[in-house]
Amino acid sequence: MPNPLPAYGLWTLVIINSLVFIIFAFSFTKPKSQRDWRSFGAFSAFIVALFAEMYGFPLTIYLLSGWLQRQYPQMDLLSHDAGHLWWTLLGMKGDPHFNFLHILSSILIFGGFIYLASAWDVLYKAQRSHTLARSGPYATIRHPQYAAFIVIMLGFLLQWPTVLTLLMFPVLVFMYIRLARQEEREALKDFGEEYAHYAERTPAFWPWGRTKHPRSSNSEESHYDT
């Protein structure tokens, strides 16, 4: 039986949900520099693109409608459940909001925001005292805020994949890596050997990542990995 309630065209929900996550992220990042605004702006664009398809216009469903209709003739393409594409493609049954992928995505999203908040608290105190952030999340990786943004976006992709956000994700990851490299160079200029020693033993993005010697602050680009 078709769902009597509209699943799309709900632009008020697009605006409300986008603002909730964007404001939430803003409260923990408080962008100041041009680099901060680029990072925050890219994440905001991802969020808007996601919710525009989730509640506004289902572009991905529209593009795949012919193939989906042939493969799943009983599926109502205009229902909200149809947008949970992993649920459909993997042949899952029941409510898509309670399958393991949706639960995992929620853990990644909210866990990422908690991690982002804890990283910002350490970074804010370090900036005020003009010291190197090395405690909390910074004790295990050098760029926990960028890692948090990546984890949050990955969580959303597990929950509601779209053509646009799937294309945006690797571009944004590349951008965050570039921004992190800029931070590396600035940190080497500001803290010198203290930062070099910190970078030697602390991976960039993932706790299990390898570490390398960064170049001196006079070099054009520092060595570092994920």
Q: Which domains does the chain have, with CATH numbers?
A: 11-201 (1.20.120)
Question: Is residue 224 a contact partner of residue 188, using CB atoms and an 8 Å limit?
Answer: no
Spatial distance between the Cα atoms of 110 and 103, rounded to a whole number of angstroms: 11
E-only strand ranges, the chain: none
| Global confidence as pTM | 0.86
Which pLDDT does position 154 carry in this prediction?
96
Spatial distance between the Cα atoms of 169 and 87, rounded to a whole number of angstroms: 20
Instruction: List pLDDT tens digits, range 58-74.
Output: 999 999 999 998 998 88
Instruction: List pLDDT tens digits, range 152-195.
Output: 999 999 999 999 999 999 999 999 999 999 989 999 999 999 99
Spatial distance between the Cα atoms of 105 and 113, rounded to a whole number of angstroms: 12
Instruction: List pLDDT tens digits, range 96-130.
Output: 888 899 999 999 999 999 999 999 889 888 988 88
Spatial distance between the Cα atoms of 208 and 125, rounded to a whole number of angstroms: 26
Chain mean pLDDT for the chain? 87
Spatial distance between the Cα atoms of 69 and 183, rounded to a whole number of angstroms: 48
User: Half-sphere exposure of residue 117, counting CA atoms within 13 Å on the CB side?
Assistant: 9
